[in-house]
Every structure is written in C-alpha cells, then in structure tokens.
Amino acid sequence: SSGSGKLKSGGGGGGAASSCPFSALVSAMGDPVAGDAPHKQAGSFFEGGASVESLSKETKPKVAGSVAGTFISYSDARSSSQGSSATGMTRGTKKSNTSSGRGGGRAARKRATRCKAPPVDMALLAKYAPVVKAAWAKVVRAYSWDQLGDMLYKTLFEEAEELRGMFFNLTQAQSIRLVDMLSTLVDFAHSPEKMHEKMESMSPMHYSRGVKSDHMKPLFNVVVIMLKEVLKHDFTPAAAEAFTFWWDYLTRSMQAGLESFGGQSSLVQESWDTVLNKFTDLEVGVFLYDTLFELAPNLKTLFKRPKDVIALKFTEMISMLVSFSSDKDRMRTMITWLGFRHVRYGVRPHHIPIMGQVLIAVLERALAGEWSEATANAWGELWQTTCDMLRRAIDDGEQKGAAATEAWNECKKRTTPAGLGGMIYAKLLKYSQGGTSATDFAEHLSIHRGDHPEEYANKRYDKDSDVSGSEALGLETWELMSMLVEKLYDPDDQIEVLTVRGAHFYEMGLRQSDLVLLGQAIGESVQDVLGSSGTAKSLEALRWLWGVACITLNKTVDAFEHKFYETIQEDWDAVKKTVEIRAVGENFYSDLGEAAPDLIFLFARPKNIQSNLFAVHMEHLISLARQPALLFKDIKAMTLRHIKYGAKAEDVNVFSNCFIECLQRMLPERWSDKSKEAWGALWDMMCTCMARCLRAGSSPITLALVQGDLDALRRAVASVPRGKREECLLKLELNGGEGSPLYWAIQDGHVELARFMLHDLLAIRADRDQYYYGLDELMRVHPDIVTVLCKKAPALLEDFFNGLLWTSKSASTTEEGIIRVNYYIRDLYGNPKFIKQAWDGPLAVLCLHGPLSSFLHPAVKKVLQIKWKAFGWAMFMLTECWYMFLLLLFMIGFIILRSSCDGMGMRAASGAFSGLTLLLQLSVVYRQFRAGQVQQRRGLPRAISRIPHWLRNPWNANRMLSMLLIVIAAICEPCRPGSHQADDPNTIDGIDVILASTGVLLWLSMLQLTTLSTRLSAFCYSLGVLASDMARNFVVIGVLLLGFSSSMVVVERASTTSDGSFVGVGMGVLNLIQILINMGSPVIEGAQIFTVIGLVVFTCLANVGMLNILIAQLSLTFDTISRDMRAFASAHRAQVCVEMEDLLPLQRRQRLYASMAFDAPIEFDRGDVGVAGG
C-alpha cells in the first residue's frame, strides 16, 4: 500500500524471549457500558492514512522528558545507543490488512458528540435529489461495482495525485467500498439528516488520516469524470447541477463533522491508531523490543520466550492500555492483574519506567511530523498513571503475596480443614450474635454438598456422608484459600475459578454483605492457628489476599443478588417478541460495520447465515448465564474459532458496546438502568473470558496462519528453541481450552503451511545432550493424524511418511558399506493397548480412505511387511486351505458323485462345514456391526447403508454367499440314483442353478490366492479395471442393439419378401450380434431399403465406432493402471492383513506388538544411540 511504513530493527537480537513480560492487558475487557460508545463508521471516501515520512535516527525529537521523573530525554536515550547500526524505523511496505483478516485501515473507535446538520434549501433538495438518484441508478446498472471502483481509482490518481496518500489500501475490495459509500449517500440524498449522520460517522477515520473538507473538491471532479464516461449524453447540465448541489452539502457536512470530532478526540487513541495504520502489530512490537534492549540490555535475562511472541505481546499491551485510558477504575483493575503476572516473571518496580521511555521513543519515530508536545504530554500522563498502578501492584504482589502465601502454608501444616472450619464458624456466630446468612451459608454447604459444579465434583465428602456445616465450611475455605495462593500470580485462571465459585456460593446462601465477615473470620482463624508465629504483617497480607478475591466474588454475587440474569432473560424474550431473531443479528452486524468497519471483514459467511448464527449463539450463551462453568467452556470453544479469523482481544469491547446499543434501540420502552447494568455484567464476564483466551492464543505462529504467510511462519518457528517447537505447532492452550495450529492449517486448506509444520516436527535435531524428534508429541496430541490427512489433505501423506524415515548420508557411514535406513513406524503399526479395534489402526485407515500411491511408500511397505510376516501370511494360508477343503468337498459331493447316493455323506459334510463357516462369518459381521466397524455407502437406503468392513472385501461377500448356497443345496438336494437328469432332459431345476452358481463362485474365490504374489494380484486388478471399462461400453452397444432391432422388426413386418431374420426383437438382437462379431452375414436380398440403411448405420456405429473406441480406451486404461498395479497389490495385501489382525485376540496382538521392541532406541551409527519408536 502506497505511503505505508515498515519497521526495520536490529540490535535486539532474535534469541529467546520471556513468558510475556508486559503481556497484553486483556485478562478482562473494559466496562461495556461505561465511557463513550465506539464511533459508528461504515467506510470512508478516504480509505487510508497519510504517507509515512522517512523516520531516521537523526530526526530531532520535538518533545523530551514529557513527565518529570519518569522519562529521560529521548535525545539522551538516542545518544546512549549510538552505534547500533540497524535500529531505526524506515519507510517500507505494509501488507494489506485483508491478509490478516482485516478489511481496511484501523479507524478511530470513539464517538464524538453529535453536531447539527448544516442548513440546506429543502426546495432545491426536493428538486435535485430525484435527479441524483436516477442518474446514479443508470450508473450502477451499466457497470458492476468493481468496474466502477477501478474507474474511480484510476481517474483519482491521474487527476488528483495529492489524494493518493489518503488511500491506505489500494485494493479492489477498497474500491468497492468506495462505490458502496457513494451509493449509500445517494440513497440518502432526499434526507439531509441521514446524509449528515453518515458523513459524521466517518469523521474519526477522516480526522485520523488528515482528510480535510478541501479534499472534497478534487474528489468531486473525479466522480464527475466517471459519470460523464458512464452516462455520456445522459449526463446533462441539469444532472451536473444536481450533483454539484448534492456534493456541496456533503462537503459542508464533512467540515462540521471534522470540526466537532477534532476538538474531542483522544490524542492517545488517535496517535496509536495512526501508528497501527502505518505499521503491522508485529513491526511495532519488534521495534519496542529492540529499543528496550538498546536502552536496558540487562533486561534480556527476563525474556525467555521467542522475540516475535514478546513483540506481539508488547503491542497488545499498549492497545489494551489505550482502550482503557478513559476508564481509570477499569484500568486500575487490569493493571493490578498485569502486575501480579509480572511478579512471577521477575519484573521489579524499577523496571517499569524504562518501558515508558521505550514507548515514547518509538511513538516519536513512528509519528514523525505528527508528533507534538500535546501528544507527548498525553502519552506521558497515561504512562505515569500506569507506572504508579503497576509499581503498586508489583510491590503488593511481592510483599503481601509472599507473606500471605507463607502464612497459609504454615497454617495448613498446623491444622485440618475440619478444625479450621470450626474456628471460622464460631467467629461468624460471634460476629452475628446468633446467626447471619454467612452461617446459613455454612449449613447450606452441609446440606447441598453434592451439588458442586463438575470441576469440583471430586470433593472429600458427598451427599450420603454426615458432614456438619462447620466441616463443610472448612473444606470450602481450605480449597478456596489454597487456590488463591496457588493462582495469585496467574490472575487469568484465578478470575475464572472465582467466578464459578462465586455462583456456587450464592446458591449456597452467601450474600455480598457476608464476604467481609467471612474474610475477617478466615484471617483471624488463620492468625489463631499460627499463634505467636503470626504477625500483624501476615494478618494484613491475608486480608489483602481476601480483598483480591472479593473483586471477582463481589461482582459475581452482586449479579445474582440483583437478579441480573432474570432481567437479561426477560429482555431477550421481549426482543424475540418485538422482532425476528435474525433481525437481532442483522442490526448488530450493521452497527458493528459502522462502528468498526475493519472488523466486519472477520466474518466470511453470507449476511443472513451470519446473522442467524449470531442470534443462535447469543440465545445459547444467555441460557448459560447462571452457570459460569458451562458458559466459559462454550466461550473458549468459540474463541478457538475466532483466533484463526484474525480476531484480537482489543476488539471484544467493540462487540459488547455494539450489542448493548443494538438492544437499547430495539427495547426503547423497556430499557432501564438495571438492563444496562445487567447486560454490562454479562458481557463483562463473557468478554473477560474471550479476551483472556485471545491473548493466550496470540502468537506469531497463529498470526502467520491467519495471514496464510509461509515466510512469516518460517520466521516464527525459527525463533522457537528446538525443544519447544512441538508445543508451539501442536498446542494452543486457551485457559483450559486447546487448539492445534497444525490442524487449523489443514482444515483451512493451507497445505504449504501444514507441509512446513510436518517437516519441522518430523525433522530429527540434536544438541550436545540429546536428540529432538517431534513424532512422539505429534502422535500423542493427534493420534488421528493419518485419518485427518487421508480425508482432508492426502497430498501431505507422503510428507508425513517421509518424516518417519532416517537415512545415512552415504554408504561409508556404516560398517557394512550400505545405506542405513531407520524406520520410525511404531505409531504407523498401531499400539493395541490404545487401538482396540484393528480397523481403527493407521494401516486400516489407509485401506479405507488413503490413496493407492501411499502403499508404495517405504514406510507403509515396511509396516505391511512386518505384519504380513508376523501373522498375515500364516493366517491367510490357513484360511485359504480351509476354503480349498470346502471346495474339494463340494466338487466330490455335488459334482463328481451327484448321480449316486454314495455322495450323500460328502454332501452332508460339505453342508455342515459350510454352515459352520457361515456362522463364523456372520459372527464377524455382527461383531463389527456392534463395534461400529462399518462404512457408510452412499446411494443405499439408510437401513442397509452401513456396511461392515469385512463385507467391503468382495471376496468375503462371495464366499459368504457360496456357503449359504451350499447349505441350501445340501438341504434341498435329494438322493438321485442313476442318472441325475429329470424325466425331461431339457428341464433344469432350481438346484441345478444353485449348484452351477456355487461352483463358479467357489472357483472364482480361489483367485484370492493371488494375494501371495504381487504380480498375480496386480494382474487380477488389471483384469477387474478392464472388465469395468468393457461393461460400460457394452451397455451402450446393448442400447444400440435394442434400438436397431426394434426398428427393423417394424420395417420387416410390413415387407412381403422378409426372410424372417427380424421376426421379433429377440431374433433381431441375435442377428445383429452375429453381424457384430462376424459370425454371420446380413441377408439383404429382398430387404427393404430402410433395413439396409439401418444395418449399414448399425455396423458403422457398433463395429467401426464403439468397438474401436473400446479398444483404444482399453489401451489407454492399461497404460494408466499399469502404474497402479503394484500399489493395488500392496493395498489388497494390506486389507487382508487388517482382516486377519481383526480376527486375532487382543492379548495376541499386544504380545506381537511387544515383540517388536519399538520402545528401544535405534542407533544412527555404532555407539550413536538415537531416538526410539522404530
């Protein structure tokens, strides 16, 4: 995009970085009902920001030392880092926002106070508005929006070059948005209020990008040129006059909106939006990272995680800090949690000011000419407030947190939950002089002790135990205090657990007024337990710890106490009665598109579907409002999906504000302060969870996946230490939820990204201490990887199989002088301990869903070879010998001795053994059906569409039918002494047909023996493919035979000289077949002319046409299948192996697996012991 900038950094190094020092302020989102709502905007005439000036290190800062005592002069900071060669912010190219899931530049999201619409002559408006609308209607009918957009952009930069810097993303999507905005304003041409509202909604975007009302004149000239080109003679002087009047009003409206917004816009928000318009989040973060180490290189020891990860966290932190800048109370809470997290990372209070220095330095360089003293003062004030809060939070976390932890751990050594509970219960009785809801709470715990949420179901008591109220209270307090100490420096998890506990406590009778008494009782009870070792400091620390917990507990209990969730349900029911459920989603997305147009492009589905989905999800989440545990679980699953769409934690607050405004507009009479507070509480809880998950899931790897950028993924993975790569590529933990970057890449069709991940995971690396191989972790996290690749990305199977092989570089590396190959096929073989059913194993999955080519890969061939030698060959031969024995009995009893009663014994034996075999076959089918070892067959009725895997093999189905026919023949075949023929030698009875069919089926089944030979099996495969091709051609020839014979029967029936060749359709078909295969010549003497013509046409079509086409097709087919013959042979043998393995007892399979010794490490060379698994 023209005029955008790029950060180039050096110096800071790309080594390891930390567990998110200064991590994003997103553990909870801003109060959705507090402060100003986001400014609505639905696009802009000017889609981008002003050009970024060259930002060099030599640029003199305009402001230094904005806050006394907090920041050193940036000039001093710069001089301290002189000589750092590569660090600087230089002009470059920023990737289009559409690549990261964003539809356009980042717009300021702050609503300005509404200003009055400019005055307008309503008579002239009534005259000109219809003219403008009619002319524009012709324009949009003549050309598509993308064509009109291209015309506007092309003309714009030819006729008004000075406007180029206003357009940030010169893409087709942006040009369409420009046309869309013009169309919207034309639609409102009759209403000055609506035109002004739309223009005013774009003021934040225009203001942040330096747009002025003077820019409207050259833009109007561009629009007029386009109108003339499209309308030609229809663009009359009257139309030109109407458009001039209309544009003049738009210009005055823009001027009023810019003046109104400019006086109120937050300098902090505005300047930060400008920076993020010019540079990507990662570029800004990297420069913050590098500048930090220039100013304070000793801080490198605090950074353990990769550089790009920390860089993104820096940017997220500043974004969230900016979003809370107008809400000091909310900001104080968020910074407190931030400080607690950083105690765990080793950050000290004196480290905090240096980050302010870094931020000011980076902003000054990034904003260049837009940096001013007012901007510096605004940022200085914000960071001064942040420093004070953060220092206090870190001090409290270090000192009071440590004292509280020490006191509680000592208390646990000296007492029991029951003893502590008795002391707390007694103090509650003392405070209340006989009883309060706090003591009632203890009794309710005793009565309802089995009604805990799922995550607390493993209590040390249950409904049937006899636990008193004091004991139950002691157990709850014990676990609550232990959790507070354990998760003190992990506030994200702590908030979630406290919310769930708070809901449970309310159900047990606890009220908000009781929390202070309960905390006081806990603190004094612990102090009593500690005795003389307890100090005033420890008591104060325990009270402080309880106060931290009460921040969340108070909110949760208060929501229940004031019946917020009942109010929410009533409001939602009222909305559903007022409008269709889909309209809620439509209104929400409409508001979101105006408030934050850069977010609407996160939603790829059609508007109707997206609106319905939103309403359905909201309905479900509202139903779970009283059950925070289930609500959090659902939100985490939803957040996993949104991460890969490019959603950011800072966006969540915009969603909540838009939804609450939407509700307020739909419920004008019902809406009250309580509704506002209730919905704010619900969205606060949901946004808190979603923002925490988005923060946890934000990383350079997920960013690369969102953008589909392979180079970015390479850089992100390269920055991760070799021992940590598996975790980054396979797991994305979101406060209890999990996702997989690898599976996301596969599901979203990013094949090249998934291929790179597989290559990196399956590469064997080493350092001086050990080897690193990601196969074990890959199969542990994704045991179904073969199934997923077969179904969704078969092109990656070869890459996966290649990763299972290791080969020596040359023959000289081995003593024998040959290339050494290690096959790491343990997981491809399948561990029966975890894979109980043979048809669930990887080899079976390849048989069912994999491409034929996969069976030619050395890794698969090795697995097949091992299984075939271990049990496949022996069991297959045993099975085939049994069927050969049955064939022998059948031939003797039913064929050779059929004419004699001496064969009755053989027939009975054949029937008995066949019946026994049939029962065994049916037992296998039944077992597979019960175990779900079936495959759906499309096109069949639902009742019979589930086919057991054993019957998928046509040989098995053939033999099952053969056994059934033999049993029927043995039962129905009578003893026939002498000739077996009936009285009428021309009569064939049913038994004859059954025996003839059985004989054919039994002998055909002997072709299964070709499995023993790869070449014979491949040959049978070729015959089968050729037969199917011939069958398709014969269907066409059959249609031709029936058609021509029917016509000739009609013609010859009217002929007096017919020789009877076409007396009927049957005779006609037989005669045409004889002609077709050259067994007879057509008799044309005395035949009708139409008969002769028909014979000639038929001969040409069938003999010359179809048969020659068949020969050519068979030739091409043979060439094609010759490449697949060996693959088919291996695939067929693999299927036989799986069938045989399925018949083995589980214990036998486990012993065979253990005999492979897969867990023993394999040598790479003599004395060089490598990894296990092959």
Write the CA distances from 497 to 486, 492, 547, 682, 692, integer angstroms.
12, 9, 16, 16, 13
The answer on pLDDT for 701 being more than 90 is: no
Q: Assign 3-class secondary structure to 854-881.
A: HHHCHHHHHHHHHHHHHHHHHHHHHHHH
Q: Are strands 805-807 and 821-823 parallel, antiparallel or unpaired?
A: antiparallel
Return d(Cα 1114, Cα 189) in angstroms, integer.
70
pLDDT digits (tens, 9 = 90+) for 268-324: 877 888 888 888 888 888 888 888 878 777 777 777 777 777 888 888 888 877 877
Of 183-197, 467-481, 618-632, give the lowest mean pLDDT range: 467-481
* Type of residue at 869: K
The answer on pLDDT for 796 being more than 60 is: yes
The answer on pLDDT for 1135 being more than 70 is: yes
Long-range Cβ contact pairs of 582-586 (< 8 A, separation 24 or more): 582/608, 582/611, 582/612, 582/615, 583/611, 584/611, 584/614, 584/615, 584/618, 584/662, 584/666, 585/610, 585/611, 585/612, 585/613, 585/614, 585/615, 586/611
The pLDDT value recorded for residue 433 is 57
Of 128-132, 331-335, 875-879, give the lowest mean pLDDT range: 331-335
Backbone φ and ψ for 252, nearest 5 degrees, come out as -65, -35
CA atoms within 13 A on the CB side of 32: 28
* Type of residue at 949: H
Write the CA distances from 1165 to 135, 809, 967, integer angstroms.
81, 11, 61
The pLDDT value recorded for residue 307 is 78
How many CB atoms are closer than 10 A to CB 67?
A: 19
The answer on pLDDT for 346 being more than 90 is: no
- Neighbour-count burial of 646, counting CB atoms closer than 10 A to its CB (0-12 exposed, 13-18 middle, 19+ buried): buried
pLDDT digits (tens, 9 = 90+) for 1142-1168: 999 999 999 999 999 999 999 887 778
* Bridge partners for 5 per DSSP: 91
Of 162-176, 647-661, 883-897, give the lowest mean pLDDT range: 162-176
* Type of residue at 1154: A
Return d(Cα 43, Cα 598) in angstroms, integer.
9
The pLDDT value recorded for residue 334 is 77
- Neighbour-count burial of 1089, counting CB atoms closer than 10 A to its CB (0-12 exposed, 13-18 middle, 19+ buried): exposed
Q: What share of the chain is helix, strand, coil (3-state, %, to 5)?
A: 70, 5, 30
Residues 117-145: what's their mean pLDDT? Answer: 90
Return d(Cα 408, Cα 400) in angstroms, integer.
12
**DSSP string for 754-817:** HHHHHHHHT--EE-SS-EE-THHHHHHH-TTHHHHHHHH-GGGHHHHHHTTEEE-SSGGGSTTS
The pLDDT value recorded for residue 54 is 32
Q: Which residue has the higher pLDDT, 555 or 492?
A: 555
Instruction: Give CA angle at 1025 (1022, 1028), nearest 5°.
Output: 145
Residues 355-384: what's their mean pLDDT? Answer: 82
Residues 538-563: what's their mean pLDDT? Answer: 89
The pLDDT value recorded for residue 1168 is 83
Backbone φ and ψ for 807, nearest 5 degrees, come out as -125, 145
Residues 926-935: what's their mean pLDDT? Answer: 87
Distance in Å from the first CA to the final CA of the chain: 51
- Tokens encoding 738: 């999990």
Of 21-25, 214-218, 929-933, give the lowest mean pLDDT range: 21-25
Long-range Cβ contact pairs of 119-127 (< 8 A, separation 24 or more): 120/192, 120/249, 122/192, 124/245, 125/189, 125/190, 125/192, 125/245, 125/249, 126/190, 127/242
Return d(Cα 94, Cα 28) in angstroms, integer.
30
The pLDDT value recorded for residue 566 is 92
The pLDDT value recorded for residue 919 is 95
- Tokens encoding 898: 């059929």
Which residue in this structure is represented by tokens 């952009």?
153
The pLDDT value recorded for residue 1005 is 87
Residues 106-116: what's their mean pLDDT? Answer: 51
Count Cβ neighbours within 10 Å for each residue of 663-701 and write b for 16 or more, e otherwise.
Answer: bbebbeeebeeebbebbbbbbbbbbbbbbbbbbbbbbbb
Backbone φ and ψ for 1016, nearest 5 degrees, come out as -65, -40
The pLDDT value recorded for residue 30 is 34
Instruction: Give CA angle at 317 (316, 319), nearest 5°.
Output: 65
The answer on pLDDT for 935 being more than 60 is: yes
Highest mean pLDDT among 306-310, 514-518, 596-600: 514-518
Backbone φ and ψ for 987, nearest 5 degrees, come out as -90, 130
The answer on pLDDT for 699 being more than 70 is: yes
Return d(Cα 861, Cα 875) in angstroms, integer.
19
pLDDT digits (tens, 9 = 90+) for 69-106: 333 333 333 333 333 333 344 433 344 343 344 444 45
- Tokens encoding 971: 């039962």
- Orientation angle between helical segments 437-447 and 469-486, nearest 10 degrees: 100
Return d(Cα 674, Cα 686) in angstroms, integer.
18
Return d(Cα 774, Cα 228) in angstroms, integer.
64
The answer on pLDDT for 879 being more than 60 is: yes
Average pLDDT, the chain: 76
Highest mean pLDDT among 281-285, 341-345, 752-756, 1004-1008: 752-756
Q: Among positive and negative, which fits the CA dihedral 775, 781, 784, 790?
A: negative
Are the CB atoms for 2 and 171 separated by under 8 Å? no
Are the CB atoms for 893 and 910 separated by under 8 Å? yes
The pLDDT value recorded for residue 421 is 85
Write the CA distances from 132 to 146, 190, 240, 408, 1113, integer angstroms.
21, 10, 9, 76, 64
- Neighbour-count burial of 157, counting CB atoms closer than 10 A to its CB (0-12 exposed, 13-18 middle, 19+ buried): middle
Can you give the pTM of this predicted structure? 0.65
